[in-house]
Amino acid sequence: MPTRVCAEDELELGEAFKVIIDGVPVALVKDSAGNCFALGDTCSHGDISLSEGFVEGDEIECWAHGGKFELATGAPRALPVSDPVPVYPLTIVDGDVYVDVT
């Protein structure tokens, strides 16, 4: 069931921020082109919050060791990460952002 997490205009271009949805840590990301994504916030390489990392193009980079993930799929893009992070369906309805972590 989708949960409303914020208004779309609260997401800043090229930034990520962490929310907890039904106990699940999620990184909400708006890339520099304005596309929005919801990924698991915990890096697959360690207990690090991805939302504290860097959004670059279609990727987010973990600050700890430089591992990168594709925003759209959560797929690993750069070592040392080799496992993906989950991605969650994100919809925008009437200016509000909804994410489904179920």
Q: Of the candidates 33, 80, 79, which has an alpha carbon nearest to the alpha carbon of residue 56?
A: 33
Residue 74 binds to ligand FES (criterion: CB under 6 A): no
Q: How many residues does the chain have?
A: 102
For 20, the token pair is: 């907890």
Please say which residue, 14 or 80, places its beta carbon nearer to ligand FES.
80
Residue ranges in 50-69 that form contacts with ligand FES under rule CB under 6 A: 62, 64-65, 67
CB atoms within 10 A of CB 38: 26
Residue 71 binds to ligand FES (criterion: CB under 6 A): no
List of residues contacting ligand FES (CB under 6 A): 43, 45-46, 48, 62, 64-65, 67, 80-81
